[in-house]
Structure 1
Amino acid sequence: MRGVLYLFIATLLAAVGWVASKIVVQSMPGELFIGSRFLLASLVLLPFCYKSLLKLSMKQVLSACGVGVFLGLALQVWIYAVSISDSLSEGAFIMSLAMIIAPLTAWLLFQVKPNRAFWIALPVSITGMMLLSLTNGWRMEASQLLFLLASALLSVHFVMNKRISGNLKPLVSICLQLFVVGLVGLMYAAFTQPHTIGFSSNLIIWFAISTLIATSVRYLLQTMGQYKVSMETAALLMILEPVWTMFLSVYMLGETIEPQKLIGGLFILSSLFVYIKLSRREAKAVQAKAEQAGTEMQVKAKKVLGSRF
């Protein structure tokens, strides 16, 4: 129950991060914001995992940092989309598609064919995407395309992160990856034109909220929650992030949501729910077959041994 609560709070903090980011990028360049935010967030997490970090081999460090580069690229595209978008809730629903895109990414990169659940959920998610984006005819806005690109890059991060997850403790991996995200952002900011920052108490407050609460505390709670509950339960709870983002953007930013886009968002959430539930059912069926095959082999072995004596 405690793990569920941790993940529930983590999804709410992630939604706060969407709103905080939208407010901050109005006074601060997005790439500089991402760089400083995630670099500071990694330093906040460092005291919780530095002992484990010192025990890592160079190969493990490089693996985590390499995966962090994809996360950094995804977040750079994401923050630019946030800065030009008029609808955070729309962006949050599109970003949630990363979970649906991930099986296709794994197929392209590592020849791991998607399961049956993916092919069932895919047309539902495509329908939702069409309802979100085709309000003005057959034309997608720039922010929608960028959110979709960020979602695709995030799916690459999901797939790569899963391949290294067995060799690293989650918190150590997150700390390293957030550090790399910060470096990617600051390096990108250094090679772009000079930036101006409109300092104000409002900017400082929301920057602190996005860094400490929506990043450091959020990832810490998310890691603790995922450790205490099953992967399927964690995935279902994470679906709440775009829902909270929608509520907060309407309440805090005065965003209006057209009925068609709301239905599109519901379609996307439904596709995620279907994918997770069917994947879970298929995994249980495969496990049951494996156990049954193992039992049959044991019975045959006993018969063979019995016939010899």
Structure 2
Amino acid sequence: MSSRQGHADIFLVCTTMIAAFGWICSREAVSGMPTMAFLGLRFLLAGLLLLCFCKRSELRQALHHRRSVLISGLLLACCMLLWIYGVATTRSLGEGAFIMSLSMLFVPIVAWVILQARPSASFWVSLPVGMVGLGLLTLKKNIVFEPSQFFFLGSAILQAIYFCYNTKYASFVSVRPLASFQLICTGVIASVLSLLLETWPPQVALSTWGWLAASVLIATSLRFWLQLKGQSMTSAANAALIMLLEPLLTVVAAALWFTEMMSLQQMLGCALILLSLLYYRVRAGRTK
């Protein structure tokens, strides 16, 4: 393995570790402040911070394609709003992380509609395995669904749409300004909704502000930089395989931090979802 590939793997593994840490940060923060207010502050501050590192030529290019940038920002905002409500209401962060990971299997379906790209044969093998895993993960003995599961599933579907839209319309915009404006758009929308619908508690604990700061600086800004750096040094297929570590690490982090435990049925469901994603990514990588 080359030194460049080794560095890329390190960057991407660190990205997945920070992503798992980000779930903890978000859960702790929303327990002490309004949900949409947290999302708004997190993404608005992270977007403005990232904007400082954009070149003027990149900003002019992004503004020239402002319609595409705005639409992608709206899609991200809707995706993140559903996600944060899932985080705020779920009993298991690990379960939510695995449901969100299914967005990779939703992408080929959305791409078939948006990009007219017919899914590969490996996708049709992976999809039913992933759906069985989702059923084992979410269905309880009494077949009662929890609201958080719908939030995460809706967010995963929107994430797939967001990914495909970026692929088709926003590929001609530089990554840094595109990400900056998308984060800012999400932050503004969430902040406006918070002002209209939410009420702040009389006092917010200092620890809550600390979790917010960690979410902005580490779980959003640093994670984005590491992921971008890692992806620029390796293939998309290799990066996608390493990023599959996120739900596994989230399960571990939630077990250590919140003492969350999964039943044998749920663990089997997680295993099937991971197996379906691994099979799809490996087969997709070999056909490129």
TM bin, normalised by shorter chain, reads over 0.9
Greater displacement, 246-255 / 188-197: 188-197
Q: Look up the match of 2:46.
A: 41
8 Å contact 2:115–2:164 — kept in the other structure? no
- 1:260 alignment partner in structure 2: 265
Residue 14 of structure 1 contacts residue 214 of structure 1 at CA under 8 Å; is this kept in 2? yes
User: How does 1:77-92 map onto structure 2 within 5 Å?
Assistant: 77-92=82-97
In the alignment, what sits opposite 1:273? Answer: 278
Instruction: Note the alpha carbon deviations across 1:31-68, whole angstroms, 9 max, x for none.
Output: 11111100000111122214343331534233122111
The CA deviation string for residues 39-98 of structure 1, in whole angstroms up to 9 with x for no partner, is 000111122214343331534233122111111101101111111111000000000000
Q: 1:43 is paired with a residue of what secondary structure?
A: helix
The Cα RMSD (Å) is 1.5
Contact 1:135 1:260 in 2 (8 A): no
Distance (whole Å) between structure 2 residues aligned to residue 161 and residue 281 of structure 1:
24
1:137 CA drift (Å):
3.4
Q: Are residues 1:245 and 2:250 paired?
A: yes
State the match for 1:117 in structure 2.
Answer: 122
Does the Cα contact within 8 Å between 1:171 and 1:223 map onto a contact in 2? Answer: no
**Structure 2 counterpart of 1:4:** 9
Is 1:185 aligned with 2:190? yes
Distance 1:277 1:230, change over 3 A: same
DSSP 3-state at the match of 2:31: coil
Cα deviation per residue 1:121-174 (whole Å; 9 max; x = unaligned)? Answer: 001101110110112333322111111011111111111111235312222221
Whole-Å Cα distance in 1 between the matches of residues 70 and 202 of structure 2?
29
Mapped partners of 2:40, 2:191: distance in 1 = 5
How far has the Cα of 1:279 moved from its partner?
Answer: 1.1
Alignment correspondent of 1:291: none
Report the equivalent of 1:194. Answer: 199
Which runs of structure 1 show a deviation greater than 4 angstroms over 4 or more consecutive aligned residues?
none
Structure 2 CA distance, aligned partners of 1:180 and 1:116?
37
Aligned position for 1:294: none
> In the TM superposition, what are the counterparts of 1:144-159 in structure 2 within 5 Å?
144-159=149-164
Q: Is the 8 A contact 1:13 1:218 kept in 2?
A: yes
Change in Cα spacing, 1:252 to 1:32, as seen in structure 2 (3 Å) is same
- Following superposition of structure 1 onto structure 2, how do residues 120-131 of structure 1 map, counting pairs within 5 Å? 120-131=125-136
Give the residue type in structure 1 aligned to 2:121: R
Letter of the aligned partner of 1:30 in structure 2? T
Q: Scaled by the length of structure 1, what TM-score is found? A: 0.87
Q: Superposed, which structure 2 residues align to 1:131-170 within 5 Å?
A: 131-170=136-175
* 1:28 and 1:197 in contact (8 A); partners too: no
Residue in 2 that maps onto 1:207 = 212
1:22 aligns with 2:35: no
The structure having more radius of gyration, on CA atoms, is 1
2:168 is paired with a residue whose SS is: helix
Over 3 Å counting, the alpha-carbon distance change for 1:258 and 1:107 in structure 2 is same
Aligned residues: 283
Q: CA deviation at 1:231?
A: 0.3
| Rounded Cα–Cα distance in structure 2 between residues aligned with 1:208 and 1:145 | 28
Q: Distance in 1 between matches of 2:12 and 2:56?
A: 25
The one-character-per-residue Cα deviations of 1:237-274 (angstroms, maximum 9, x if unpaired) are 11011111111100011111112111111111111111
Residues in 1 aligned to 2:234 and 2:171: alpha-carbon distance in whole angstroms: 17
Q: Provide the residue aligned with 1:289 in structure 2.
A: none
Report whether the alignment pairs 1:65 with 2:70: yes
TM-score by length of 2: 0.94
CA shift in 2, pair 1:57/1:132, >3 Å: closer
Q: Which runs of 5+ in 1 are unaligned?
A: 284-309
